[in-house]
Structure 1
Amino acid sequence: MNKAFVKENEGDDDDDLDVAAVALPAGSKNYMTKQGYERLRAELVHLMNEERPAVVQTVSWAASNGDRSENGDYLYGKKRLREIDRRIRFLTRRLEMAEVVDPAQQPNRDQVFFGATVVYSDKAGEEFRVTIVGVDEAEPLEGRISWISPVARALTKAREGDTVTLRTPAGIDELDVLEVHYPET
């Protein structure tokens, strides 16, 4: 097929469509733990210093082989370079706007704030243990939830023994706060 009839986005200006991207509430900061910041920074350094140069070398080698239209190494390499560059731009922006918070320095250790590990139970009596972290470091299946998640918002400012209301599309649930912990300094 003639390339005139195929829409190809060479620029790939869809940086905001990054798989890991989570929109922050308007006017809010990108709160992050030190560990989350270091993990994103390490990923950025790895992409810039190791992965990107290796792919550039492969693309350069593939380009020197001649016909690029059917050269799989060249085509895949160019696509992979665009993905790496997109991720580098995304990580750079996220790290620039990050505000690192040390939960161990929280003065109100009896209340739930960013960085707290909370044990709570729902109406059914099922217990959950979650740690409230930044949007870029959330792993709900591992018990790390984003500070903008409905559960984290419901728990914020609660104390041990409090009951908070969680509003979800499935309805309203009552959460009993059983324990609040912060990392030690």
Structure 2
Amino acid sequence: MSRWRPPSPRSSPHITAEGHARLKAEFEQLWRVRRPEVVRALAAAAAEGDRSENAEYQYRKRELREIDARLKYLTARLQDVTIVEIRPRDDSRVYFGAWVEVADPDDRRHRYRIVGADEADARAGLISVDSPVARALLGRAAGDVVRVLLPAGPTELEIVGVSYEPPAA
């Protein structure tokens, strides 16, 4: 049996303005702060002599490769994304960037924001537009019930509210 897997589908190129700013800030921090620190530490480790048995040198080389890989990804992704700042005409329906409050069958409330794949953070309630929950919610309005296939099994969610303004803290 082969280990080959088909490539995963490309994620949506959409991103919120806040998500774009976070990606740019991460790029700047890696490029201007973190990478120069690692390069200095790598040079100091290389100056210590035999590199083949120098754990610090090996560690810093690996760290630099990881930073460079992330910078390469961020460079490509920042050129590829489309910032979505326009509110939809019908703001009673769920579209990209919407804050959606849903109730599960046990009447527990959950609040999600539909965002780009690069800014998804389940703990913060930010779900990717490519996720099954977001795909089920898109285009729906308050009062609609959607059926979603989750890892735990199928469930129904009722849309309680839709907003394009961040919730009050």
TM-score (norm 1): 0.80
Q: How many residues align?
A: 159
Does residue 158 in structure 1 map to residue 140 in structure 2? yes
Tell me by how many angstroms 1:169 deviates: 4.6
Give structure 2 stretches of 5+ with no counterpart: 1-7
Partner of 1:79: 62
Tell me by how many angstroms 1:174 deviates: 1.8
CA distance in 1, matches of 2:24, 2:51: 34
RMSD over aligned CA atoms reads 1.6
Partner of 2:77: 94
Identify which of 43, 51, 73 aligns with 1:60. 43
CA distance in 1, matches of 2:156, 2:74: 37
Tell whether the 8 Å contact from 1:29 to 1:99 is kept in structure 2 after alignment: no
Tell whether the 8 Å contact from 1:112 to 1:158 is kept in structure 2 after alignment: yes
Tell me by how many angstroms 1:93 deviates: 1.4
CA distance in 2, matches of 1:73, 1:41: 30
Tell me by how many angstroms 1:164 deviates: 1.5
Matches within 5 A, 1:26-45: 26=10, 29-45=12-28
2:157 maps to a residue whose letter is: L
TM-score (norm 2): 0.87
**In structure 2, the residue corresponding to 1:129 is in which secondary structure?**
strand
2:92 maps to a residue whose letter is: D
CA distance in 2, matches of 1:183, 1:106: 12
Give structure 1 stretches of 5+ with no counterpart: 1-22
